[in-house]
């Protein structure tokens, strides 16, 4: 079955709502990238390169007790934990292409191959109930979304019938919606899809076409979304019923995704979509990942701007951004879940 999409509206941000700023200075944890925090908040998985080989490691949240959990000559990357903390799904080249595998964290069984599609399977994320895994499918330069049972089985594809391609999805807490990047002409736009599994529909409910937005990370408590963007502004909120304002702001040029410019971590507020920038100039960040209490993020610092020149780190470093804000209780943000 293929997922169909129906576009129902656009929600644009234009005024600042005063979301909380970063509460503490980022704390360096360890060298690595692509962090994913375990459901109990005690550990995190991440990727580290050594001698040209990428493997997945697990460490305690303070960076201690590091252990390597994959040891294949192929590249293993993009880990995501199962809700019960027993398994990690990851993307690997060990089969020649890019497929998804499921790893038993205890190490008692070898990794189990989950997907085998013609293209590449990337950026997996486990549904809150543990039954499904969403991921990005790259096939002949086209990006779309796939959903596969965590236990194995047929992949259901979301067919990008709109102008945009879909990638980089994360599940909102109820499991009925996904935050996703809608990519068009080199620009990333953060959107929300409502998933109707019974009828095979994926409906675009919200879209924020304001800046180059990538790497959404869904807060497990209240569904707010952290993401990275080249845009250093702090757009805020507007009412979708104000059609004249919407028509005006649609004319604002959207910046393209720029790899040689710093990327900042932003936080999307609930309800009518308000955002605030959470990281300061001149540093560049990627791969935000929430802690299970919804209060802090792990993220990777890539480098900093020195005048007009970007200076990368010798090695990417994972930082803890503690105390982003105090999340609302589950259920207070029903329109986003």
Residue pLDDT, tens place only, 238-291 = 333 333 333 333 333 333 444 456 788 888 765 435 667 778 777 888 999 999
Please report the pLDDT score of residue 251 as a whole number.
Answer: 33
Spatial distance between the Cα atoms of 31 and 41, rounded to a whole number of angstroms: 19
Q: In the structure, what pLDDT confidence band is assigned to residue 85 with cuts at 50, 70 and 90?
A: very high
- Across the range 150-177, mean pLDDT stands at 78
Spatial distance between the Cα atoms of 71 and 55, rounded to a whole number of angstroms: 6
Spatial distance between the Cα atoms of 217 and 15, rounded to a whole number of angstroms: 23
Give the residue with greater pLDDT, 193 vs 286.
286
If we measure between CA atoms, which residue out of 136, 133, 131, 89 comes closest to residue 117? 136
Q: What does 26-61 look like in DSSP terms, one character per residue?
A: -EEEEE-EEEEE-TTSSEEEEEEEETTEEEEEEEET
Domain total for the chain? 1
Q: Is the pLDDT of residue 95 over 80?
A: yes
If we measure between CA atoms, which residue out of 154, 143, 148 comes closest to residue 180? 143
The model's pLDDT over 33-69, given as tens digits with 9 standing for 90+, comes to 999 999 999 999 999 998 888 999 999 999 999 999 9
Do 6 and 291 form a contact (C-beta atoms < 8 A)?
Answer: no
Most confident of 8-17, 60-69, 192-201, 253-262: 60-69
Share of the chain above pLDDT 90, in %: 38
Q: Residue 154's domain is classified under what CATH number?
A: 2.120.10.30
If we measure between CA atoms, which residue out of 194, 192, 226, 232 comes closest to residue 209? 192
The domain of 104 spans 2-336
């Amino acid at each position: 079955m293929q997922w169909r999409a129906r576009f129902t509206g656009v929600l644009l941000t234009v005024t600042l709502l005063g979301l909380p700023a970063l509460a503490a200075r980022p704390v360096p944890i360890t060298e690595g990238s692509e962090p994913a925090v375990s459901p109990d908040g005690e550990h995190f998985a991440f990727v580290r390169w050594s001698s040209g080989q990428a493997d997945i490691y697990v460490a305690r949240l303070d960076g201690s007790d590091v252990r390597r959990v994959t040891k294949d000559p192929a590249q293993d990357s993009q880990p995501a934990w199962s809700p019960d903390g027993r398994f990690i799904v990851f993307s690997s080249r060990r089969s020649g292409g890019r497929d998804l595998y499921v790893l038993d964290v205890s190490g008692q069984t070898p990794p189990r191959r989950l997907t085998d599609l013609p293209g590449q399977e990337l950026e997996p994320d486990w549904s809150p109930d543990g039954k499904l895994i969403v991921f990005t499918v790259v096939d002949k330069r086209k990006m779309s979304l796939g959903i596969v049972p965590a236990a194995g089985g047929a992949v259901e594809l979301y067919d990008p019938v709109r102008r945009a391609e879909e990638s980089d999805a994360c599940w909102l807490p109820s499991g009925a919606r996904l935050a996703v990047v809608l990519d068009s002409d080199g620009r990333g736009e953060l959107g929300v899809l409502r998933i109707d599994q019974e009828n095979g529909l994926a409906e675009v409910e919200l879209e924020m076409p304001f800046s180059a937005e990538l790497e959404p990370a869904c807060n497990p408590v209240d569904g707010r979304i952290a993401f990275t963007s080249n845009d250093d502004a702090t757009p805020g909120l507007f009412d979708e019923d104000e059609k004249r304002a919407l028509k005006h702001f649609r004319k604002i040029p959207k910046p393209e995704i720029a790899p040689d410019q710093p990327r900042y971590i932003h936080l999307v507020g609930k309800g009518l979509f308000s955002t605030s920038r959470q990281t300061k100039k001149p540093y560049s960040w990627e791969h935000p990942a929430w802690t299970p209490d919804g209060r802090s993020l792990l993220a990777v610092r890539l480098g900093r701007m020195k005048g007009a020149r970007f200076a990368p780190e010798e090695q990417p470093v994972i930082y803890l951004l503690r105390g982003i804000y105090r999340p609302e209780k589950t259920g207070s943000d029903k329109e986003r879940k």
